[in-house]
């Protein structure tokens, strides 16, 4: 296929640079400077997709972000697939591979068209709610059907090979849009010395001027653009972003910009380059110069390929040197669109007629059309287009003054292109993102930005100031206003002279009547992407949907990636008319971020793969890796889980590790436990307030276990705190709870008790902690220290400073296994040295490294809880059977005391933590299993509590478990049953959670 | 995303550095044991959800770790002021709204109560 619609001259394309691309498997050619859309039109490609519900063939309608139909899947390889790319926004590059998103088996011969005709009837407005509500079982069928039909695009199956990036920016003035208003605003701010960012979605700056034949200072507008761009580039503090879509305008003048850095040049970013970058901008002032989108008119079969928005036709001619047809009919309600007829005529093509809904159009452009001998049919409208895969003719009829009824004979005219204009809709999307409600402006027949609390200014067509002269003026005044807020001096800026074009008054027209009522007329599409018709909107209104937000949701108008750019105003106008009210009374839906689809790559940036989340390693991590440890994530920490040897299964490893600890000696890397250094004369009193037990008498050199509760009395953390000196303590927390506990201490200190002199410092990373545990742990420690660690000199719950393996250490005689244990703390960078020294001397004692899983089993054998596993925020210390850790006599009402005395907290039948001894010792209860007292009760059975911890204990040669049972502490010896999903019912005896060494003799040696 | 001025660091920083810690000026009762269950429940759980001016406690968690207060408009998300713990807000909702918000003590508005207690603790 040749570029049969390409013009010989004109446009901002480079005819010397031919580019080859693939579209639906066919090789086509375009030029540098083309978009995918302009290249497709140049090649005479009419159909670019099939519609969502009705599977109708669709062509390119627009030339920018508002394009509803040409939604492409782009990518030469599986890994570089990008779905939902608008052909109008994708720059052409050599080797580009694009395909239509929907259309099956191909867009040209779409089998779905026949299905779609059924589907269309199946899917009136509200079909999600009506048709697909029942039966539920068919949802899978519906969903796959909808997905197939809807052309949602396809995510790549392989990993994206490109690099994406994020960048934080700060500026004085952020200018969105580089049309005439934006360029003048940027130039003014730049000359004043402001830090400026100007971003535009297009491949070059210039906005509307790029597609217009207007002159500035008597010369082509392109010359003025080039001079401004050149000057802007000379400022160090001006950042110019092309191919950059400002997609979100968030609170406090925070904007997100998606910059396409390389994906307009190649399928993959060149080696080492960033494909896309997300700029996160904090701007002191924002100037929105986002322009306007032309509104098409709504008429019968207005979706047949060849039906386009008027200005898009001009853009393809003037900017890309493409005339997308031969015979044009232009339908308009305003003067401005006459430009399209002039451009078409001047490109040497045939203007069949201008169909003007107004009775007596007058103005410079109307005169120019008459001078060219273009036929103008006044007081008329195109009521219907004919053709299936391309427009072949149109029906034109005279309209009444209001434009809502056909009042004369229909004339049929041959044409392959219908361009329409119902006026312009300001692009107010960004101004809505922070919650401002748009305001209807009768003078321009459109919504303009509403009042905002953002430091936001607007300039140009977004305000309904559609002429170039007004855009330039408003760009200047917006910049000057920003500069005055910024206390910068306004510089000299002279604006270029614009052409004097007089335009007559436009007519408020949105929906062209047909001879048949709307419900019977050929489909009149309002929202192409979602297949919403005028009849659908009228039906929704008749069915009682009066709020425009409800109409939107019922019909799907403005949904998805479209966000109502093209059709929203027409839809509201039709709804308003049906409801017999004005457009401002009907109101508008609110546009949400993002303005156009953003790739996941840009959102994710570098935060993927190895950089997805930070990882924390202990000082001994390399040893664990060398010794084959399996790791588990605890918070951000990588903790050894267990150390398999040879062909061991996990359970075999755990059995070996568990036995080794109780038989001789094991070692655990406990460095990850949170450690908070607490100092100050009120430190002791503070501990008494945040822990449930007493701290007044804890002597220097002693350690104590404490429970931390919320004001509701529920346990949220636990740990051992040691008295290092009279006013100096070391608190340990759970690994995952460390940050929360520190903030907890701070909030009480800072907001409730600021008079207390106490300081908290996280020292978790400062210390490497290794716990040696087992009957031979003392003998092992003695080999590395000269300090007397005998029972007499160092009793259980003592801590002593000493030298271990030549390194200063704090050694704590605390135990989480129930065995004789020493927790050795050394400065973190000595950790690996001491760890290795322990192993050198540990051979004689079969020193066995164990991980978190063995730690869990050993503590469960002893009935020690793990906060967060055996607690869930709904249990207080008494529920845990830990009344010994609560001191109700403390003078200060500690945090949790009042909460745990509430009526509900003192019920006798609360769920209480107990031991669970399965009747069959070989059965290990699943954690989370729900207990019942009567397994024969009818379903739903009354549940009495769940299993929180359950393991196989090699030491006891049976299972051990803990769990909650209602009133369990008074049910010792009674039975509880656990019906499992596989049908088994496990019977267990309620017992003390201390399965091993109930008197604690093993740790007191 | 908010842009928050930390009154301790004395500069604007991104919201990512901060955590919201709920409604401000909820003092812990000075004698919890004297509270009824209902009073304790009010203290723990009952919070305002106003449309408009709201006083909030925030912490500069990834910065100086200091807590401070923000007066924020929950509708526009404008931050009207920031002030340190123990200080009083200068931007407040109208008196009727304050009185209707919730009741702790008869003669004074809850805000007055909380402010007194808060500053009392600070002194
Ligand atoms: Zn700070």
**The pLDDT value given to residue A108:** 60
Question: Which of A132-136, A871-875, A934-938 is the least confident region?
Answer: A132-136
Domain closes at, from A87, A118, A149: A149
What would the mean pLDDT of A15-23 be, rounded to a whole number? 97
Q: Which domain holds residue A23?
A: 18-149
The CA distance from A261 to A602, in Å, is 11
- Say how far apart CA A20 and CA A26 lie, in whole Å: 10
Picking from A577, A595, A613, the residue at the C-terminal end of a domain is A595
The domain that holds A125 is classified in CATH as: 3.10.20.440
- Pick from B21, B44, B76: CB nearest A453: B76
A754·B86 Cβ contact <8 A: yes
Give the per-residue pLDDT at A127: 52
Neighboring chain A residues of B65 at a CB cutoff of 8 Å: 743, 746
Is pLDDT of A741 > 70?
yes
> In this structure, is residue A606 part of a structural domain?
no
Burial B93-122 (b: 16+ CB within 10 A, else e): beeeebeeeeebeeeebbbebbbebbeebb
**A778-791 per-position pLDDT tens digit:** 999 999 999 999 99
Residues of B in contact with A752 (CB under 8 A): 27-28, 121
Residues A357 and A278 in one domain: no
Q: Are residues A122 and A143 part of one domain? A: yes
Looking at the structure, do residues A406 and A439 belong to the same domain, yes or no? no
Assess contact for A256 and A279: CB atoms under 8 A.
yes
- Comparing A442-446, A784-788, A789-793, A801-805, which segment has the lowest mean pLDDT? A442-446
Which residues of chain B neighbour A431 with C-beta distances below 8 Å?
none
Range with the lowest mean pLDDT among A219-228, A285-294, B113-122?
B113-122
Q: Residue A139's pLDDT is what?
A: 52
- Among chain B, residues having any CB pair with chain A shorter than 8 Å are 1-3, 14, 19, 21, 27-28, 31-33, 35, 37, 40-41, 43-44, 57, 59, 61, 65-67, 73, 75-79, 85-86, 118, 121-123
Q: Which residue among A712, A752, A899 places its CB closest to the CB of B121? A: A752
Q: Which residues of B fall within a CB distance of 8 Å from A254?
A: 1, 3
Chain B's closest residue to A453, CA to CA, is: B76
Cβ neighbours of B46 in A, within 8 Å: none
Q: Does a structural domain hold residue A93?
A: yes
Q: Same domain, yes or no, for A814 and A686? A: yes
A546/A828: higher pLDDT: A828
Q: Are residues A397 and A465 in the same domain?
A: no
For ligand 1, the distance from its centroid to the CA atom of residue A755, given in whole angstroms, is 20
Binning pLDDT at 50, 70 and 90, where does residue A254 land? very high
**Is A180 found in the same domain as A36?**
no
Q: Is the pLDDT of residue A984 over 90?
A: yes
A219: CATH:
3.50.50.60
The alpha carbon of residue A561 and the mean position of all alpha carbons in its chain are separated, in whole angstroms, by 15
- pLDDT value at B107 more than 80: no
Q: How large is the angle between the packed helices A650-663 and A852-861, nearest 10 degrees?
A: 60
Using one digit for the tens of pLDDT, what is the confidence trace for A846-855? 999 999 999 9
- Residue spans per domain, chain B: 3-84
- pLDDT score, position A50: 84
Q: Which of B77, B79, B87, B119 to mutate to test the interface with A (most CBs of A within 10 A)?
A: B77
Tell me, in angstroms, the distance from the centre of ligand 1 to residue A758's CA: 19
CATH class for the domain made up of B3-84: alpha beta
The whole-angstrom separation of Cα A386 and Cα A529 is 20
| Closest of B63, B60, B119, B67 to residue A748, by C-alpha | B67
* Distance (Å) from CA B81 to ligand 1 centroid: 15
ipTM of the complex: 0.88
DSSP structure string for A946-985: EEEEEEEETTTTEEEEEEEEETGGG-TT-EEEEE-TTS-E
- pLDDT of A551: 87
Half-sphere exposure for A658 (CA within 13 Å, toward CB) = 24
> Mean of the per-residue pLDDT values for chain A?
93
Contact call for A434 and B32, based on CB within 8 A: no
Q: How far apart are CA B106 and CA A703, in angstroms?
A: 47
Both A281 and A301 in one domain: the answer is: no
The whole-angstrom separation of Cα A527 and Cα A522 is 15
Cis status of the peptide bond prior to A170, with omega within 30 of 0: no
What tens digit of pLDDT does each residue of B10-64 get? 999 999 999 999 999 999 999 999 999 999 999 999 999 999 999 999 999 999 9
Q: Assess if residue A563 is contained within a domain.
A: yes
Q: Which residue has the higher pLDDT, A557 or A892?
A: A892
Question: What is the chain B residue with the closest CA to A760?
Answer: B65
Instruction: Tell me: do A234 and A306 sit in the same domain.
Output: no
Q: Who contacts A936 (Cβ-Cβ below 8 Å, separation ≥6)?
A: none
Model confidence at A362: pLDDT above 80? yes
- Interval between CA A747 and ligand 1 midpoint (Å): 14
- Does the predicted TM-score (pTM) go above 0.80? yes
Asked whether residue A317 is domain-assigned, the answer is yes
Our CA-based measurement puts residue B92 at a distance from the nearest CA of chain A, in whole angstroms, of 18
Which range has highest mean pLDDT (A41-55, A149-163, A538-552, A636-650)?
A: A636-650
In the block, tokens 């590790």 appear at A657
Question: How many CB contacts within 8 angstroms connect chain A with chain B?
Answer: 73
Residue A143 and residue A25 share a domain:
yes
Q: Does A687 share its domain with A835? A: yes
Residue A346: CB atoms within 10 Å:
13
The model's pLDDT over A628-671, given as tens digits with 9 standing for 90+, comes to 999 999 999 999 999 999 999 999 999 999 999 999 999 999 99
Question: Quick one: pLDDT band at residue A36, thresholds 50, 70, 90?
Answer: very high
Answer yes or no: do A986 and A918 share one domain: yes
A888's tokens: 């109700």
Q: Is there a contact between A453 and B31 if contact means CB atoms under 8 Å apart?
A: no
Asked if the model's pLDDT at residue A891 lies above 50, the reply is yes
pLDDT of residue A588: 80
Chain A residue with CA closest to B58: the answer is A747
Contact (Cβ atoms closer than 8 angstroms) between residue A711 and residue A842? no
Closest CA to A772 of A703, A723, A841: A841
Same domain, A824 and A738: yes
Please state, in angstroms and as integers, the Cα–Cα distance from residue A430 to each residue in A304, A445, A457, A553, A697, following that order.
31, 19, 12, 21, 63
Whether residue A752 and residue B28 make contact (CB cut-off 8 A), yes or no, is yes
Report percent pLDDT > 70 for chain B: 76
Q: Convert the pLDDT of each residue in A818-856 to its tens digit.
A: 999 999 999 999 999 999 999 999 999 999 999 999 999
pLDDT at A14: 97
Q: What b/e string do you get for A697-724 counting C-beta neighbours within 10 Å, with b at 16 or more?
A: ebeebebbbbbbbbbbbbbbbbbbbbbb
What's the rounded Cα separation, in Å, for the pair A88 and A70?
7
Q: Is the pLDDT of residue A282 over 90?
A: yes
Task: Please judge whether B2 and A751 are an interchain contact, meaning their C-beta atoms are less than 8 angstroms apart.
Answer: no
The CATH number for A583's domain is 1.10.10
Mean pLDDT in residue range A750-765: 97
Residues from chain A contacting residue B118 (CB–CB below 8 Å): 751
Among B28, B85, B117, the strongest candidate for a mutation testing the A interface, having the largest count of A CBs within 10 A, is B28
Task: Tell me the percentage of chain A whose pLDDT exceeds 90.
Answer: 87
Min distance B104 CA to chain A CA atoms (Å)? 18
In degrees rounded to 5, what are phi and psi of residue A243? 50, 35
Q: What is the CA radius of gyration of chain B?
A: 15
| Number of domains chain A contains | 6
In this complex, the residue of A253, A712, A747 whose CB is nearest that of residue B21 is A747
Q: Is the pLDDT of residue A152 over 70?
A: no
Picking from A252, A434, A751, the nearest residue to B67 by CB comes out as: A751
In a domain, A623, yes or no: no
- Which tens digit of pLDDT belongs to each residue from A679-711? 999 999 999 999 999 999 999 999 999 999 999
For residue A124, the model assigns a pLDDT of 54
| Chain A interface residues (partner B, CB cutoff 8 A) | 168, 250-254, 282, 434-435, 453, 711-712, 743, 746-747, 750-755, 893, 897-899, 902-903
Q: Residue B44 in contact with residue B28, Cβ under 8 Å?
A: no
């Amino acid at each position: 296929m040749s570029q049969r619609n390409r013009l010989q001259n004109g446009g901002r394309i480079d005819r010397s640079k031919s580019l080859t691309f693939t579209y639906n498997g066919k090789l086509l050619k375009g030029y540098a400077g083309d978009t995918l859309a302009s290249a497709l039109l140049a090649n005479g490609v009419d159909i670019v997709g099939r519609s969502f519900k009705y599977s109708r063939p669709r062509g390119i309608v627009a030339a920018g972000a508002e394009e509803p139909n040409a939604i492409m899947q782009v990518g030469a390889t599986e890994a570089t697939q990008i779905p939902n790319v608008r052909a109008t926004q994708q720059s052409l590059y050599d080797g580009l591979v694009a395909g239509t998103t929907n259309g099956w088996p191909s867009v040209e011969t779409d089998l779905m068209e026949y299905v779609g005709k059924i589907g269309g009837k199946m899917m009136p407005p509200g079909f999600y709610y009506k048709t697909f509500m029942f039966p539920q079982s068919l949802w899978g069928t519906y969903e796959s059907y909808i997905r197939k039909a809807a052309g949602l695009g396809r995510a790549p199956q392989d990993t994206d090979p490109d690099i994406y990036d994020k960048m934080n920016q700060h500026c004085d003035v952020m200018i969105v849009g580089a049309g005439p208003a934006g360029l003048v605003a940027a130039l003014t701010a730049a000359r004043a010395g402001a830090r400026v960012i100007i971003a535009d979605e297009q491949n070059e700056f210039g906005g509307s001027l790029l597609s217009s034949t207007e002159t500035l200072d008597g010369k082509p507008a392109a010359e003025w653009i080039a001079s401004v761009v050149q000057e802007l580039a000379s400022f160090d503090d001006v950042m110019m972003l092309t191919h950059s879509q400002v997609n979100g305008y968030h609170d406090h003048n925070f904007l997100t910009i998606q910059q396409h850095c390389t994906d307009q040049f190649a399928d993959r970013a060149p080696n080492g380059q960033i494909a896309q970058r997300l700029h996160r901008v904090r701007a002191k002032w924002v100037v929105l110069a986002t322009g306007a989108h032309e509104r098409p008119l709504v008429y019968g079969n207005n979706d047949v390929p060849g039906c386009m928005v008027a200005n898009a036709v001009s853009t393809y001619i003037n900017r890309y040197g493409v005339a997308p047809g031969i015979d044009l009919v232009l339908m308009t309600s305003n003067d401005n669109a006459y430009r399209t007829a002039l451009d078409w005529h001047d490109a040497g093509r045939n203007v069949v007629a201008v169909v003007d809904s107004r009775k007596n159009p007058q103005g410079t452009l109307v005169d120019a059309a008459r001078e060219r001998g273009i036929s103008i049919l006044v007081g008329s409208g195109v009521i219907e287009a004919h053709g299936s895969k391309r427009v072949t003719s149109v029906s034109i009829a005279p309209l009444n003054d209001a434009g809502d009824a056909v009042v004369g004979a229909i004339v049929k005219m041959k044409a392959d292109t219908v361009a329409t204009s119902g006026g312009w809709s300001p692009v107010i999307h960004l101004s809505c993102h922070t919650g401002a409600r748009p305001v209807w402006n009768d003078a321009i027949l459109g919504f303009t930005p509403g009042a905002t609390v953002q430091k936001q200014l607007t300039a140009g067509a977004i305000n309904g100031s559609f002429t170039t002269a007004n855009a330039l003026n408003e760009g200047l005044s917006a910049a000057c206003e920003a500069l005055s807020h910024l206390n910068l001096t306004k510089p000299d800026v002279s604006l270029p002279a614009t052409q004097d074009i007089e335009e007559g008054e436009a007519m408020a027209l949105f929906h062209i009547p047909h001879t048949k009522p709307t419900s019977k007329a050929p489909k009149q599409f309002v929202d192409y992407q979602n297949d919403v018709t005028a009849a659908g909107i009228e039906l929704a209104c008749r069915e009682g949907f009066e709020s425009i937000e409800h109409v939107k949701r019922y019909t799907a108008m403005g949904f998805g990636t479209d966000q109502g750019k093209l059709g929203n105003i027409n839809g509201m106008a039709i709804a308003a008319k049906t409801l017999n009210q004005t457009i401002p009374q009907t109101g508008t839906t609110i546009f949400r971020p993002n303005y156009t689809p953003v790739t996941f790559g840009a959102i994710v940036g570098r935060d993927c793969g190895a950089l997805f989340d930070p990882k924390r390693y202990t000082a001994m991590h390399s040893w664990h890796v060398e010794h084959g440890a399996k790791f588990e994530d605890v918070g951000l920490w990588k903790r050894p889980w267990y150390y398999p040897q040879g062909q061991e299964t996990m359970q075999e490893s755990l059995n070996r590790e568990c036995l080794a600890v109780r038989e001789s000696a094991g070692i655990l890397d406990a460095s990850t436990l949170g450690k908070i250094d607490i100092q100050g004369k009120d430190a002791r009193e503070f501990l008494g307030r945040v822990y449930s037990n007493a701290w007044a008498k804890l002597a220097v050199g002693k350690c104590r276990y404490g429970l931390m509760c919320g004001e509701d009395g529920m346990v949220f953390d636990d740990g051992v705190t040691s008295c290092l000196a009279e006013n100096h303590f070391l608190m340990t927390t759970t690994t995952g709870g460390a940050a929360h506990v520190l903030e907890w201490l701070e909030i009480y200190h800072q907001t409730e008790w600021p008079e207390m002199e106490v300081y908290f410092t996280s020292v978790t990373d400062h210390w490497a902690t290794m716990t040696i545990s087992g009957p031979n742990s003392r003998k092992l420690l003695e080999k590395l220290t000269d300090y007397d660690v005998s029972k007499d000199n160092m009793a259980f719950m003592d801590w002593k400073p000493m030298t271990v393996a030549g390194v200063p250490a704090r050694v704590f005689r605390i135990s989480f296994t129930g065995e004789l244990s020493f927790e050795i703390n050394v400065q973190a960078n000595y950790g690996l040295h001491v760890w290795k020294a322990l192993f050198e001397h540990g051979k004689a004692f079969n020193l066995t490294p164990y991980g978190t899983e063995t730690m869990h089993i050993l503590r469960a054998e002893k009935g020690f809880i793990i906060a967060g596993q055996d607690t869930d925020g709904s249990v207080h210390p008494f529920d845990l059977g830990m009344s010994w850790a609560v001191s109700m006599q403390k003078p200060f009402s500690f945090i949790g005391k009042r909460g745990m005395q509430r009526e509900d907290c003192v019920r006798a039948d609360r769920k209480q933590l107990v031991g669970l001894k399965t009747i069959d010792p070989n059965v290990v209860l699943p954690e989370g299993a729900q207990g019942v007292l009567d397994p024969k009760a009818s379903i739903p059975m009354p549940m009495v509590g769940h299993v929180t911890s359950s393991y196989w204990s090699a030491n006891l040669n049976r299972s051990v478990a803990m769990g909650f049972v209602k009133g369990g502490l008074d049910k010792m010896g009674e039975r509880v049953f656990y019906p499992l999903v596989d049908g088994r019912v496990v019977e267990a005896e309620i017992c003390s959670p201390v399965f091993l060494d109930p008197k604690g003799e093993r740790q007191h040696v | 995303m908010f842009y928050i001025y930390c009154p301790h660091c004395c500069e604007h920083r991104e919201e990512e550095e901060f955590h919201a810690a709920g409604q401000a000026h909820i003092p812990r009762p000075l004698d919890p044991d004297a509270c009824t269950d209902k009073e304790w429940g009010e203290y723990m759980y009952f919070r305002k959800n106003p449309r408009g001016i709201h006083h909030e406690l925030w912490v500069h968690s990834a910065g100086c770790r200091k807590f401070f207060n923000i007066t924020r408009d929950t509708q526009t998300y404008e931050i009207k002021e920031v002030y340190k713990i123990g200080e009083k807000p200068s931007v407040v909702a109208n008196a009727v709204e304050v009185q209707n918000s919730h009741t702790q003590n008869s003669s004074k508005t809850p805000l007055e109560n909380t402010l007194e207690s808060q500053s009392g603790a600070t002194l």
